[in-house]
A and B are shown apart, each in its own frame.
Chain A
Amino acid sequence: MALLQIEQLTKQFGVNKALDSINLEIGQGEVHSLVGENGAGKSTLIKMLSGVYPPTSGTLFWKGNEVSFESPKDSKDIGINVIHQDRQLVSYFTGLENLYLNNPYPKKKMGLGIDWKAMYKAAQRLQDKWGMDIPLDIPVSKMTPSERTLLEILRAMMSDSNLLILDEPTASLTDKESELLFSFIERLKDQGVAIVYISHRLEEVIRLSDRVTVLTGGKLMATIERSQLTKENLIRYMTGGKEIKSTRLPKMQEHQEVLLQAKELRSVDGSIKNVNFELRKGEILGIYGLAGSGRTECMEAIYGLRKIADGEIYFKNELRSKPTPGSSIKQGIVLIPENRHEDALIMDNTIMENMTLPILSKLTKNGVMQKKSELSLVQKEMARFKVKAVNVNQPVSELSGGNQQKVVFAKALMSNPLVYICDEPTQAVDIMTRADIHLFLKEQASEGKGVIFVSSDLHEILEISDRIIIFSEGETVAELVNDNLNPNDILDICYLNQKEAVQG
């Protein structure tokens, strides 16, 4: 008997069917992946399995018995644990407080107050058991995206699962952390826990899954058995037979003029200590580093979001003494931030209000908004990246994760910049959009612009970069021309430097 059986499940938002009559079975100890384009309905399905949304129609059977969830608590009580695509943490609580958020607090003797020591000990034991090392005493707001993901995973381990659902868990993880996650999945699977896994990274889907279900436009296209699992097969089902183009554009000539340069950069907070690099016209500069290497912090410092203690930044050979985001945008430098919820989007505002925010002054006459030109501009960019939405006035909170990321990307293009600083720009987007974004950046580079491309996905870095800068412990430690490099070359450098740093 299946652990979970889904029958004719449908979810309607207004006039749109996000999911249409889905039938699916999840077996005990099975790793079942869900793939499909952005807005296909994957997260919506998960939210109904975990009691976040009630289904519009359809039935769920748990071990053969019909169940319906009034709230997330109901589904957690029968052993369904979920890591949602939008991380569900309280950002001003510490890691420890977040771990116990929906688990009972250990009480002191006679129930007087919370036993913090016992809490801490139990949490550390769990960390040891799963080989994790998250700092539990700092608030979540100070944690990196990957630490946040790991914290959520740890929290899911706090109570026993029968079914663990992971919605794009590797979106901000480096390879090393992903490996850690995969080993958890193997261990849980051996214990008979069923896993539902969502990801746009097809390699890991193929590696982990027993079966894969492809969703398209809210409909179930196919459920593929392990023996039939190939990347080509998956893409064929996802795109309805279309090929994904991977275009090589002619490179610009070497030794182009330098657009942006960082010299011995050090930040006030010490997150970056000694950063040196050059970005030339017409190139895509890949930036890689393990978690905590300071790559995001460095991009923020260059853009003007982080105070610089000493060192220099030159833009077109001119010193930028006190960069601010405003001056960056004016000069033609734009940042696509890593954290879309906190740094990029105003969730309750509309797609249009979000996209034009950096260029409002260009869309005005005497301070009055020119709504017609704003509308046509936004519609053009939405069409370019195929943002799936009802209209430009839909709040971004109602978009799927990948479509939110498309809005973030499109927003950055609005100011028509000279330098793109992209921090994980393809997170959460489907492989078709990923190819579109890569192509777009390559085109921009071939037009003489400069692109900095930060990614925790080493394969992606190798796929797109002309040169690669490696960060370790807040410093730039190596610069490589991307010519027949393989992932281990880069990882070796990272680990070597990390070891040296530890040994002092």
Chain B
Amino acid sequence: MNANVETYKKTINFNKNMISSYGTIFAGIAIILIFSLLSPGSFATLDNLINITRQISFLVIIAIGATLVMSVKEFDLSIGAMASLGGVVAAKSAASGLPLFLCILIPVIAGFLIGLINGAIITRFKVLSFVTTLAMGTIIGGFTFWFTGGATIFENIPASFKFIGQTNLGGIPLLSVIMFLIVISFWYVMSQTVLGRRFYAIGGNERASQVSGINIGKYKNIAFALSGMLAALTGALLASRLGSAHPTGGDGFFLNAYAAVFLGMTVVRSGVSNVIGTLFGAAIIGIMANGLTILEIPTFMQNVITGIIIIAALIIQKLGRDS
């Protein structure tokens, strides 16, 4: 009798643990099943799957930057504005006739440098990253507006600029390939290298990391610089896909990027931002958008549903962990 109670309790615990670590994954699978049932002919096809990987590539790349900054327990709220700037700089470069690799490299370097400035201000003066990067986002936004005069850049952009955004390699979009390469590289960095260890150490206990000889300022600077770089890259890739750039074209990524990171914190390394988790989080958001669009649900309703799904996933995970 007693033994029975014990095994019974163990099963319950097991299930609760399952929910806490895999809740988000279950939610993802459930979403896929539902869409597959509702629109089997158009959602659950290989073409659409490939399509989804291309659609989420932008969100994944920018969210990985946010993942890095969150791993040292800071926020970078300038990533949306940074992506807009990256797109505009890339498009302007293309319009002025620069070769493709420079059109990508210039915004990436700009993003890296602005990220360094973010980091320098935050670590040097010990101010809150939340507010600092919010203000930096405003500054970048203002600069982008001045730079473009508030207009979309689309004139004189050569077809060659669209190469990255619109090429398929044996049926797989180049954008998807780039996304997977970035995911794999940063997964490797965060889980297998000293840099990742130090990031997570700082995020876990900054003071103890300092006592252990880690130069906190240096590693936070690196995180902010990489975040700025990836955000600007996202903007440049988007411009290449569209063949144009709007001065606020990247702003919308900011909230979804953080939603992806927070969703991702519920999988793999529980409670800590991580690259694979972020990929999952971005995939859920992307799949929702894709599936709901196929079902012809209007955008405002899509937003409502996506928001509800995110909150539900967080609650399920939390309930699982607390018990």
Contacts and interface: CB of A to CB of B under 8 A. Distances in A.
Given A326-B214, A353-B201, A346 B209 contact: yes
Given A303-B211, A347-B205, 18 more contacts: A325-B210, A325-B212, A325-B213, A325-B214, A329-B212, A329-B213, A345-B208, A346-B201, A346-B205, A346-B208, A347-B204, A349-B201, A349-B204, A357-B201, A360-B194, A360-B198, A368-B192, A368-B193
14 contacts: A303-B211, A305-B211, A325-B212, A329-B213, A344-B211, A346-B204, A349-B200, A353-B197, A357-B209, A360-B194, A367-B195, A368-B194, A369-B192, A369-B193
Contacts of A349: 200-201, 204
A347 B200 CA distance: 12
A358 interface: yes
Interface in A288-342: 303, 305, 324-326, 328-330, 335, 337, 342
Given A357-B201, A367-B194, A342 B213 contact: no
A346 B199 CA distance: 12
A325 B211 contact: yes
Contact of A358 (B200, B205, B212): B212
A342 B194 contact: no
Contacts of B204: 346-349
Interface residues of B, number: 21
A324 B215 CA distance: 9
A343 B197 contact: no
B214 A357 contact: yes
Nearest to A345: B208
Interface in A373-419: 411
A356 to B, nearest CB: 8
B interface, by DSSP: helix, strand, loop or mixed? helix
A348 B73 CA distance: 14
Of B198, B208, B215, B272, most buried by chain A (CB within 10 Å of CB) is: B208
A364 interface: yes
Contacts of A344: 208, 211
B126 to A, nearest CB: 14
Interface string B206-224: 0111111111000000000
Interface in B205-260: 205, 207-215
A361 interface: yes
B271 interface: yes
A348 B271 contact: yes
A305 B208 CA distance: 11
B205 A335 contact: no
Contacts, number: 70
Contact of A367 (B193, B200, B215, B271): B193
Contact of A369 (B197, B201, B212, B215): B197
B210 to A, nearest CB: 6
A343 B210 CA distance: 8
Interface in A269-304: 303
A284 B127 CA distance: 42
Contacts of B207: 342-343
A349 B272 CA distance: 11
Of B198, B205, B207, B272, most buried by chain A (CB within 10 Å of CB) is: B205
Contacts of A364: 193-194
A361 B210 CA distance: 15
Contacts of A305: 210-211
B219 to A, nearest CB: 12
Contact of B197 (A337, A348, A360): A360
Interface in B255-275: 271-272
Interface in B87-132: none
Contacts of B197: 353, 357, 360, 369
A369 B194 contact: yes
A329 B193 CA distance: 21
B213 A358 contact: yes
Interface in B8-57: none
Nearest to B271: A348
A396 B197 CA distance: 16
Given A305-B210, A325-B213, A361 B205 contact: no
Of B193, B204, B205, B211, most buried by chain A (CB within 10 Å of CB) is: B211
Contacts of A353: 197, 200-201
A358 B198 CA distance: 10
Of B192, B195, B197, B198, most buried by chain A (CB within 10 Å of CB) is: B197
Contacts of B212: 325, 329, 357-358, 411
A411 B208 CA distance: 12
A330 B215 CA distance: 13
B19 to A, nearest CB: 18
Contacts of B205: 342, 345-347
A369 B195 CA distance: 10
Nearest to A305: B211
Contact of A337 (B201, B209, B211): B211
A328 B192 contact: no
B213 A326 contact: yes
B201 A328 contact: no
Interchain residue pairs A-B with the least CB separation, the first 3: A346-B204, A329-B213, A326-B213
A361 B219 CA distance: 14
